[in-house]
Amino acid sequence: MSQPKKLPSVLSVGEVARRSGVAVSTLHFYETKGLIAAERSRGNQRRYARDVLRRLSIIRVAIDLGFTLVEITELLKPIPPGVTPSAQDVKNMIEGWRHAINQRIEGLALLRDNLDGCIGCGCLSKDDCPLRNPDDSLSSQGAGAVLLTKQTSR
């Protein structure tokens, strides 16, 4: 029998775009930012290793989590483009992500619980809303909205 339909070992930029849902122009852009990398064909066209798809998945998820491209570049440092990382590298990176995610969740839960309080007290028009400027007497320190904001970890 002939070989089972073989997946190509390198991908053109168009294939990567189709499979990842990321526009070609964005792939170019990410490359200039050092987020992804590609070999070149004899004729100077990009040829991506398959791992770029995994990498793009991670990048898009991170963007949705609110990380900037610069932050993502940092987070991905343990896994340089085109390099197959050690299992330990991967574990370390994922632990870092887990931490960031947990912090984000904690901030959101805190905010939600504060809002729950608001529902009970209808306090947006009162003086004791947790979303309210904590105390105008603190105003000289520019406190205010900053308090809650900080807890969301951004």
Partner DNA sequence: ATAAAACCTCAAGTATGCTTGAGGTCAATA
Partner DNA sequence: TATTGACCTCAAGCATACTTGAGGTTTTAT
Between 37 and 66, how does the x/- string for binding to DNA read (CB under 7 A)? Answer: ----xxxxxx----------------x---
- Shortest approach of a second copy to residue 42 CB, angstroms? 25
- Helices (runs of H) and strands (runs of E) counted in the chain: 6, 3
Query: Does 118 engage in binding with a second copy (CB under 8 A)?
Result: yes
Of 4 and 43, CB closest to a second copy: 4
Question: In this structure, are residues 113 and 105 in contact, taking their beta carbons and an 8 Å threshold?
Answer: no
136 touching a second copy, by CB under 8 A: yes
Residue 40 contacts residue 46 (beta carbons within 8 Å):
yes
> What is the nearest approach in angstroms of DNA to the Cβ of residue 69?
3
As beta bridge partners, residue 10 has 49
Q: Tell me the DSSP string of 112-131.
A: HHHHHHHHHHTGGGSS--TT
Helix/strand/coil for 39: strand
Minimum Å gap between C-beta 5 and DNA is: 14
Residue 35: HSE in the Cβ half-sphere, 13 Å Cα cutoff: 23
Name every residue whose Cβ is closer than 8 Å to that of residue 41 and which is 6 or more positions away in sequence: 47
> Which residues contact a second copy (rule: CB under 8 A)?
7, 15, 18-22, 50, 53-54, 56-61, 64-66, 79, 84-85, 87, 90-91, 93-95, 97-98, 101-102, 104-105, 107-109, 111-112, 115-116, 118-119, 122, 124-125, 129, 131-133, 136, 139-140, 142-146, 148-149, 152, 154
> Which residues contact DNA (rule: CB under 7 A)?
12-15, 17, 23-26, 28-29, 41-46, 63, 68-70
